Amino acid sequence: MTLDPIATFEDIARWTGPFRDAQRAAAQDALESGKVLFFPRLSFVIGNSEATLLTDQLSNGRAKNISRDPDGRVQGERGSAEESVRLNMMLGRFAEHARALVMHLFPGYAARVEQARTSYRPVEIAGRRYSPRDDDKRLHLDAFPSRPQRGRRILRVFSNIHPMGGKRVWHVGEPFEDVARRYASKARKPLPLEPWLFETLGITRGRRSEYDYLMLGLHDGAKLDTAYQKDSPQVEFAFPAGTTWMCFTDQAMHAALSGQFALEQTFHLPVEALAHPERSPLKVLERMMGRTLV
C-alpha cells in the first residue's frame, strides 16, 4: 500500500483568503479524509520586536510547551516581564491568524468551531527523552487523558518559525480505520464508576465516554508497540521554516521527530459540523463496535 497523507496547497499564501470555492472544497475534503494540509507559501512572519523570543531559554523547563489560553493566560514560560508581554502578543497574533485561516477556508465550520489553546514550542525535539507514552516522537493520534472530547474533533494549525531555516520533521502514518482495526479491541475498559470518579476528583475535565477510552487505547496501543513504530506504513515529511500545515490530529497518525520553534493553535469542532461526519473517528469507531460510544 502506498500512503499519500500530505495534501499540498501551493496557491494559498494569505491567512485571510479570499479562497476560491474549488480551493475550499479540496481543502475540506482532504482535511476530513485525515490528510495533513501543507501550505508551503503561508508564513507566520515574526516581527523585529519578537526576534528575541526565539530562544529555548524562555521555556520554564518543566512543561515542554508554552501555552496561552483563549483568555490570554500564558503558562510554562519564564521570561522577563517585558518578554512575557511580547510573548503573549505573539501568541495572540498567531491565534488570530490561525482563526482567520480556518474561518475563511472552512466557512461551514465557522458557526461551531471553538478556539482552544495556542502553544509555542521553542525546544528542540530531537534528543528529548520521555516515557514511550509521553513521547510524541512516536506515531500517535492525539487523545488527552485529562480532557475527554466525547467525539469532538481536534484540529491543529502549525507554523514553523525557525529563524535559521531549521525544518520540522514529522512522520505521518496509516489511515485512521487501520489504526482503529489494530488497537480498538485491545483498549482498556473503564472500571465501574471510574469515569464519574475521575470527573468528581477533577482528574478529568468533564466525563470520559467510551469514545475517550477507545481513543486513549489507540494512542497508547500505537505508542507502546515498538514493532508498529518501526514497521507500520509511514512517510517522513520535513516542513521547511516559514511554512504552515494543519490536520485533525485525532485522525491523522503523526509523530514529530525533530525541529525547534513552532507555533500551534488548537480548535475543537463537533462531529455534526463536518461535511462528512461518517469519516470522523467517532463514527468510524461506532461502526466498528456496532454501538453508540458517547
Binding site for Fe ion (CB under 5 A): 142
Kindly give, in sequence order, each residue whose CB lies less than 8 Å from that of residue 89, ignoring residues fewer than 6 positions away.
none
| Residue 216 contacts ligand SIN per CB under 6 A | no
Dig out the grid coordinates for 214 from the structure. 477507545
| Minimum distance, C-beta of residue 82 to ligand SIN, in the bound complex (Å) | 27
Stretch that binds ligand SIN, among 8-16, 103-111, 248-256, 269-277 (CB under 6 A): 248-256
Nearer to ligand SIN, 204 or 266 (CB): 266
| Residue 117 contacts ligand SIN per CB under 6 A | no
Nearer to ligand SIN, 137 or 208 (CB): 137
| CA distance linking residue 90 with residue 99, whole number of Å | 14
- Residue 262 interacts, among Fe ion, ligand SIN, none and using kind-specific CB cut-offs from 5 to 8 Å, with ligand SIN
| Residue 244 contacts ligand SIN per CB under 6 A | no
Stretch that binds ligand SIN, among 25-33, 183-191, 254-262, 286-294 (CB under 6 A): 254-262
- Pairing outcome for strands 244-248 and 153-160: antiparallel
Pick out residues in 143-202 that bind ligand SIN (CB under 6 A). Answer: 158, 168
Cβ contact 152:271 at 8 Å: yes
Cβ contact 72:92 at 8 Å: yes
Give the residue, chosen from 68, 99, 121, 219, that forms a contact with ligand SIN under the rule CB under 6 A.
Answer: 121
Helix (H, G, I), strand (E, B) or coil at 223: helix
| CA distance linking residue 37 with residue 105, whole number of Å | 12
The helix or strand, by DSSP H or E, that contains position 218, with its residue range, turns out to be helix 210-223
The helix or strand, by DSSP H or E, that contains position 290, with its residue range, turns out to be none
Residues in the site for ligand SIN, rule: CB under 6 A?
121, 136, 158, 168, 249, 254, 256, 262
